[in-house]
Structure 1
């Protein structure tokens, strides 16, 4: 008799298409009864994402544009990830929390890619995933106003 043992390192089905959410946009502000060619509001720095899958969903977060020490926080769970680094205009900092692929990279404006995983502030950080249900995410930076995108795929199955 022959025995066979299989191990599934990633035992979930996932969405075919990644969901992309832009965090930094204009929200609220003044409303007038007449049309005007101007927009009044404030720049938002948070978003609520509903993870309706069966398991916590890893994220890929992009900070695009100049910033110093950017950070992403899941206000719902209290988890956060801060990168002690400076990104210039034209650079993109990418935080990936995928299972077995957790890393941070900076794609410079000239196309070079730097590993910035060692720049993660270990005392204040964890490579978190979206919890099941509603997740309020916010971002911050010591300086700068980057545009931030959060990308994710819901996971399905019992794992």
Structure 2
């Protein structure tokens, strides 16, 4: 069964599916994304030279019918609830898609308030057609959960209990992290001290994030590599100025990535956690 749940920032939601009151009839834009292709053409060149491409924002259109059984006043109540949930002034909503064992989510903003046509066949005592137009600035569907494992010190080395268990010696701590999505995906890293100049490297790309700072036992360092939402915080306070100048806010490439952790002060109390959500270009 296919269904869509739309939830706003206030936690209020509506479910569109094959049951009352919100029947789902068509769902467009969940698979395709417009692509802008960059190319270059030289004088007298046949054709052009491909340079790069970028995925544009995703547009999702939903059509359906509000249906009630006994009370015609309920049609108006359900219309009002849909308007509240999709109020653009509240900001982005979360669209969660369900189909059999597949669950994915995406953020979107309503391009218009819900449309309720009044033409023949669109409205009656116990039914009302609806149209929704939503814009997803980030076009990728995400898993609804984080892949997340804690890196912890055990006697004889560091053991990272991940989907692919790996044992780490006291130096050169390495492990695999699998990005099963279609594109690279950002990560969030959490250090719990003590540690000195903690560094996490994606050995697959050669990029690292290093924070030139000593962490005490009660300190928590968090780093996000999400585009437009990058941050470095110690105990919730901005710590961007401690970032090593050679650092890159790296992402996990598709497939297996080899990650390593280093610190100038290894401790059995140190904890490092890397988490991410895989990204997909379509359902």
**TM range, smaller chain:** 0.7 to 0.9
Q: Establish whether residue 152 from structure 1 lines up as the match of residue 276 from structure 2.
A: yes
Query: How much has 1:24 moved relative to structure 2?
Result: 3.0
The structure with more strand, counted as a fraction of residues: 2
The answer to which structure, 1 or 2, has the higher relative contact order (CA under 8 A, 6+ apart) is 1
C-alpha distance in 2 between matches for 1:89 and 1:25 = 14
TM-score by length of 2: 0.45
Q: Establish whether residue 118 from structure 1 lines up as the match of residue 233 from structure 2.
A: no
TM-score by length of 1: 0.78
Aligned length: 134
* 52, 56, 78: which one aligns with 2:180: 52
Aligned twin of 1:143: 265
Please identify runs of 4+ aligned residues in structure 1 that moved more than 6 A.
Answer: none
Cα-to-partner distance string for 1:123-154 (whole Å, 9 max, x where unaligned)? x2100010111101011112243211001100
Q: Establish whether residue 69 from structure 1 lines up as the match of residue 184 from structure 2.
A: no
C-alpha distance in 1 between matches for 2:247 and 2:221 = 16
Assess if the C-alpha contact under 8 Å between 1:23 and 1:46 holds in 2.
no
Q: Establish whether residue 16 from structure 1 lines up as the match of residue 144 from structure 2.
A: yes
Q: Specify the structure having the higher radius of gyration (Cα).
A: 2
Query: How much has 1:25 moved relative to structure 2?
Result: 4.2
Q: Establish whether residue 41 from structure 1 lines up as the match of residue 156 from structure 2.
A: yes
C-alpha distance in 1 between matches for 2:220 and 2:256 = 27
